[in-house]
């Protein structure tokens, strides 16, 4: 596949390395320009490009930026894209400020889809970057970490589920994008390195009535690092 990654932080860089090793053509961008990505390119094998070029990738576009940066993405290119677009982000009020649509009930990724004018698949948001980068193992390995994937397009979701398996993690279909609150910060499934059975259980344990409290708790815990 031709893959564009917007965001060169820990998650974006880890995915660039995995996807390049799987034989995909990977381009990567950040907000500062391709000239600042020589180290990332050396470590991952991905080709540095502009955000506009990454957004125009033909098959898969991965958005891995803070929510506050979503409004600055090349939205017209993303809106017209025919690629599968994956959102890996999480909303943290201390970092991202107030977002009325999320406070009004939209999930983080429903808001992203609304801003960019294109459906998204939610994935890779509920695993520590260090775990993503170092804990991939072959299929069938006991206690293989599982990741949940939410989205409204079944074919696009299946593409991401299969990709996760090839990268080295089990994958769970977590339902529609509107259900992706179950894998947002503070929930039982968030950043726990769970195997497939434990992750299924954690997703079911999530309580919508606790959504605001979960976010507040997660935001408080991460505030010193944001």
pLDDT digits (tens, 9 = 90+) for 17-31: 999 999 999 999 999
**Which part of the chain has CATH 3.40.50.720?**
2-122
| 34-57 mean pLDDT | 97
- Looking at the chain, how many residues does it have? 226
pTM beyond cutoff 0.95 = yes
Instruction: Compute CA distances 171 → 149, 164, 167, 200, whole Å.
Output: 7, 6, 10, 10
Instruction: Compute CA distances 94 → 90, 91, 114, 202, 205, whole Å.
Output: 12, 9, 22, 26, 26
Superfamily of 2-122 according to CATH: NAD(P)-binding Rossmann-like Domain (3.40.50.720)
Cα atoms found within 13 Å of the Cα of residue 38, Cβ hemisphere only: 2
Give me the pLDDT at residue 179, please: 98
CB 129 within 8 A of CB 153: no
What's the CA gap between 177 and 199, in Å, rounded?
A: 17
% of the chain at pLDDT higher than 70:
100
- 66-122 pLDDT, tens per residue? 999 999 999 999 999 999 999 999 999 999 999 999 999 999 999 999 999 999 999
């Amino acid at each position: 596949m031709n893959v564009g990654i917007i965001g060169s932080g820990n998650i974006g860089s880890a995915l660039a390395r995995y996807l390049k090793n799987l034989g995909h053509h990977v381009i990567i961008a950040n907000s500062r320009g391709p000239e600042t990505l020589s180290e990332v390119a050396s470590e991952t094998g991905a080709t540095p490009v502009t955000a506009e070029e990454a957004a125009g990738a033909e098959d898969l576009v991965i958005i891995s930026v803070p929510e506050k940066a979503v409004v600055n993405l090349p939205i017209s290119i993303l809106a017209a894209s025919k690629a599968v677009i994956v959102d890996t982000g999480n909303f943290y009020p201390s970092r991202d400020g107030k977002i009325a649509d999320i406070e009004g009930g939209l999930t983080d990724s429903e808001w992203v889809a609304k801003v960019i004018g294109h459906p998204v698949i939610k994935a890779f948001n509920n695993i520590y970057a260090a775990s993503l980068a170092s804990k991939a193992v072959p299929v069938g390995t006991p206690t293989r970490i599982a990741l949940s994937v939410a989205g409204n397009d079944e074919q696009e979701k299946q593409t991401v589920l299969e990709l996760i398996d090839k990268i080295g993690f089990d994958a769970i279909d977590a339902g529609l994008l509107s259900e992706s609150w179950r894998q947002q910060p503070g929930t039982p499934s968030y950043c726990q390195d769970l195997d497939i059975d434990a992750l299924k259980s954690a997703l079911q344990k999530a309580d919508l009535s606790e959504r605001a409290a979960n976010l507040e708790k997660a935001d408080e815990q991460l505030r010193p690092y944001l």
